[in-house]
Structure 1
Amino acid sequence: MSTEETQAKTVSGTVVSNKMDKTISVLVERKVKHPLYGKFMRRSTKMMAHDEANECNEGDVVVIEATRPLSKNKTWRLQKVVSKAQVV
């Protein structure tokens, strides 16, 4: 066994809900090529992530990283906030 640490998988997305305590819901979009027609389609996934400081608001662009299961649905942790949402 080596002593090197493995990199956790990271994805970026938009916060769509922060109504829970220390939890955010992040929408991650990706482009997938249709197997027959070749057209690129947008597909999205909603992921629950742990936000220890409750620092995120709806509309923020964030980077989340994979971690051990924290609850039934939560296996991601907030790594950093890339950009804050505009306050209207």
Structure 2
Amino acid sequence: MTNDPTNKEIKKGRILTGMVVSDKMNKTVVVEITRLRKHPKYKKYFKITRKFKAHDENNTYRIGDKVNIQEIRPMSKYKRWIVIGKV
């Protein structure tokens, strides 16, 4: 295994699925993850949305693409995910 961050054989870290909402940065996309959570007292479900910056080596993913991202070592101050493919 090499130190190349785009290697698809990385086995560590969580894998999440979300939508690309920004591709303006070089080699970086912003992926929005939406999930449902149940309120502990009132038992009502509500949406929680988070945005993650993910590494995109070849700038291949565009706004609206549904992608899988995987947790990796920190690549910059806010970038700790890598795009591993479209869904």
TM bucket (normalised to shorter chain) is 0.7 to 0.9
Q: Select 1:59's aligned residue among 55, 61, 64.
A: 64
Name the Cα RMSD after superposition: 1.3
Q: How many residues in Structure 1 have an aligned counterpart in Structure 2?
A: 78
Q: What amino acid is aligned across from residue 47 of structure 2 in structure 1?
A: R
Letter in 1 for 2:20: V
1:86 matched residue in structure 2: none
- Unpaired runs of 5+ residues, structure 2, are 1-9
Identity %: 41
Aligned to 1:72: 77
Equivalent of residue 54 in structure 2, options 46, 49, 65: 49
- Looking at CA atoms only, which structure, 1 or 2, has the larger radius of gyration? 1
1:30: which partner in 2? 35
Please list every run of at least 4 consecutive aligned residues from structure 1 whose deviation after the TM superposition is greater than 3 angstroms: none
Q: Does the C-alpha gap of structure 1 residues 8 and 51 become closer, same or farther in structure 2, counting only changes over 3 Å?
A: same
Normalised by the size of structure 1, how large is the TM-score?
0.84
What is the TM-score with the length of structure 2 in the denominator?
A: 0.85
Letter paired with 1:12: T
